[in-house]
A = this chain, B = another copy of it.
Amino acid sequence: MNVFVIGSNGQIGRHLVKQLQEHDGHTVTAMVRNKEQAEALLADGVKAEVADLEGPVAGLKEVMSGCDAVVFTAGSGGSTGADKTLLIDLDGAVKTMEAAEAAGIDRYLLVSAIQAHHRENWNEKIRHYFAAKHYADRMLELSSLNYTIVRPGGLLNEPGTGKIKAKKDLERAFIPREDVARTIVAALDEPNTYRKGFDLISGEHTPSEALKSL
């Protein structure tokens, strides 16, 4: 599969691009915001496309055309306001869903947040962030795309263990970003993840094993 990664300069995105680049069965196209980022990736041998999540759907469609799958792992981050949470994490995400549909790309994986599907379990300090993720998830479920929603727990920068736990509902716990990326790679062509969402934390099984028994 040629995988189109949105949020490729993010902390999960960087792991994901690297893992896909090293993968025998996949190639990667990284979406970035500007030419400098594209040139930096190109220097590492990664194909890159420049586009803006705050721009029109047509521009997003154009850059992802010809790819087989889209992964959305972008986010406005903690240093911008809740207005950007609405425009990037929600509207930006949904625009890429519409772009994928328009480009005839069927497979779409979205990185969400643990328990985003249950309002009563949203993190009180950032309820608005969980609301944005919640509605991005729901719009994807209501789309025609063959989706997978990955809802990781607290994200760590430490090296991955390669072992995860994945289930529809899990108690909040932690997981290294490297393992989130591994789980996305394993989910790409795993039919047991099609049209499903799952919570994700560190555990005792390889991503491949864990996803087969969702």
Residue positions of A touching B, CB distance < 8 A: 56-57, 81-87, 90-91, 94-95, 119-120, 127-128, 131-132, 134-135, 138-139, 142
Contact = CB atoms under 8 A, between A and B. Distances in A.
A121 to B, nearest CB: 12
A93 to B, nearest CB: 11
Contacts of A119: 56-57, 91, 95
Given A91-B134, A119-B56, A83 B139 contact: no
Copies of this protein in the complex: 2
Contacts of A87: 127-128, 131
A86 B91 contact: no
A127 B56 contact: no
A90 to B, nearest CB: 7
B56 A132 contact: no
Contact of A135 (B56, B90, B127): B90
A128 B83 contact: yes
Contacts of A128: 82-84, 86-87
A88 B3 CA distance: 36
Contacts of A131: 86-87, 90-91
11 contacts: A81-B81, A82-B83, A83-B85, A86-B131, A87-B127, A90-B131, A90-B135, A91-B119, A91-B134, A91-B135, A95-B119
A130 to B, nearest CB: 9
Nearest to A81: B82
A84 B85 CA distance: 12
Contacts of A142: 142
A96 to B, nearest CB: 13
B83 A127 contact: yes
